[in-house]
Amino acid sequence: MTDRVAFITGASRGVGAAVARAFNADGMRVALASRSGDDLGLGLGLECDVREPGAVEAAVAATIDEFGRLDVVVANAGVGSYGPFLELDPDDVEAMIDVNLKGTLYTARFTLPHLIESKGDFVSLASVAGLRAFPGEAVYNASKFGMLGFTRALDHELRELGVRVTNIAPGGVATDFAMGSGRTPESVEGMMSAEDVADVVLFTVNQPRNLRMMTVSFRPMNEGSWG
Phi, psi of 203 (to 5 degrees): -55, -40
DSSP string, 54-67: HHHHHHHHHHHHHH
76 touches ligand NAP by CB under 6 A: yes
Distance between first and last Cα of the chain = 38
Closest CA to 192 of 207, 176, 171: 171
Q: Which amino acid is at 92?
A: D
Among 8, 44, 50, 142, binds ligand NAP (CB under 6 A): 50
15 touches ligand NAP by CB under 6 A: yes
Q: Which is nearer to ligand NAP, 16 or 43 (CB)?
A: 16
The edge-to-edge listing of strands for the beta sheet with 215-218 is 44-47, 29-34, 5-9, 72-75, 121-125, 164-170, 215-218
Minimum distance, C-beta of residue 32 to ligand NAP, in the bound complex (Å): 9
Q: Which is nearer to ligand NAP, 118 or 180 (CB)?
A: 180
78 touches ligand NAP by CB under 6 A: yes
Among 4, 5, 7, 14, binds ligand NAP (CB under 6 A): 14
* Half-sphere exposure (Cβ direction) of 96: Cα atoms closer than 13 Å: 25
Backbone CA torsion sign across 41, 68, 98, 140: negative
Site string for ligand NAP, 173-202 (x = CB under 6 A): x-xxxx---------------x--------
127 touches ligand NAP by CB under 6 A: yes
Question: With CB under 6 A, what is the number of residues at the site for ligand NAP?
Answer: 32
Q: Which is nearer to ligand NAP, 118 or 152 (CB)?
A: 152
46 touches ligand NAP by CB under 6 A: no
Minimum distance, C-beta of residue 178 to ligand NAP, in the bound complex (Å): 4
The residues annotated with a catalytic role in the active site are 140
- Torsion angle in degrees (nearest 10) through CA of 80, 50, 213, 211: 180
Q: Which is nearer to ligand NAP, 127 or 166 (CB)?
A: 127
125 touches ligand NAP by CB under 6 A: yes
Q: Which amino acid is at 62?
A: A
Among 172, 198, 204, 205, binds ligand NAP (CB under 6 A): 172
Task: Classify 218 as helix, strand or coil.
Answer: strand
Query: Rounded to an integer, what distance in angstroms lies between the CA atom of residue 97 and that of residue 80?
Result: 10
Which residues are near ligand NAP by CB under 6 A?
9-16, 34-36, 48-51, 76-80, 99-100, 125, 127, 170, 172-173, 175-178, 194
